[in-house]
């Protein structure tokens, strides 16, 4: 079959017209994912204020600007729709830079960065939350009274994070051990 220039143009236009709905749908899905729900991150102080008004668990992401795994958590795990939905429902989510310069008052104590002008100087609240362990990313869960109940370390996939969020967020930790909970979930 030999097509003229006019025929090639007509075939190309027809192909584009036929595939246009699929292209528009794919673009819309991508835009919806980009515009989708995100974790409602707040400062530590904002979470404490909100917690006094309406008690919830507090999930603290302790990170640093130079941490590659922290960036991977932000890009992959903290954008997962199930993680986003659950954290927003059950927790006040806090992004806490372990090297931030500003002081923070928590439980009537002021925590500061002892050397705010120095690179990689750790904030005293980060040290308190992480029980003096400097490993990033790390995550701390505070209960509804803002008391420390759990710390997890390192990069977490959505599949690793969801069970932990659920165990604490649904307060299973008050009724059973982690091993009892995971055994019950695998049935």
- Give the angle subtended at the CA of 39 by the CAs of 38 and 43, to the nearest 5°: 135
Q: Which CATH architecture has domain 35-185?
A: 3-Layer(aba) Sandwich (3.40)
66-84 pLDDT per residue, tens:
999 999 999 999 999 999 9
Whether the pLDDT of residue 104 is over 50: the answer is: yes
Q: Where are the beta strands (DSSP E) in the chain?
A: 41-42, 57-63, 91-97, 104-106, 109-111, 138-142, 148-153
Cα Rg, the chain, nearest whole Å: 23
Give the span between the Cα atoms of 3 and 41, in whole angstroms.
Answer: 59
* 110 within 8 A of 103, measured Cβ to Cβ: yes
The confidence score (pLDDT) of residue 29 equals 43
132-158 pLDDT per residue, tens:
999 999 999 999 999 999 999 999 999
Read off the pTM: 0.80
Q: Is 150 exposed, middle or buried (0-12, 13-18, 19+ CB in 10 A)?
A: middle
* 113 within 8 A of 121, measured Cβ to Cβ: yes
Q: Indicate the domain borders of the chain.
A: 35-185
């Amino acid at each position: 079959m030999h097509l003229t220039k006019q025929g090639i143009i007509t075939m190309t236009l027809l192909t584009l017209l036929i595939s246009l709905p699929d292209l528009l749908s794919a673009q819309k899905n991508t835009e919806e994912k980009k515009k989708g729900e995100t974790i409602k991150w707040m400062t530590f102080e904002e979470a404490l204020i909100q917690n006094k008004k309406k008690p919830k668990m507090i999930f603290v992401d302790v990170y640093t600007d130079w941490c590659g795994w922290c960036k991977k958590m932000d890009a992959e795990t903290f954008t997962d729709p199930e993680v986003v939905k659950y954290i927003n429902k059950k927790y006040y989510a806090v992004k806490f830079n372990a090297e931030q310069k500003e002081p923070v008052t928590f439980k009537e104590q002021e925590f500061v960065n002892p050397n705010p002008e120095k690179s990689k100087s750790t904030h005293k609240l980060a040290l308190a939350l992480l029980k003096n362990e400097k490993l990033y990313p790390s995550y701390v869960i505070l209960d509804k009274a803002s008391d420390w109940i759990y710390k997890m370390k390192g990069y977490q996939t959505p599949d690793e994070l969801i069970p932990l969020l659920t165990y604490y967020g649904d307060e299973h930790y008050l009724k059973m051990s982690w091993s009892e909970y995971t055994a019950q979930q695998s049935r």
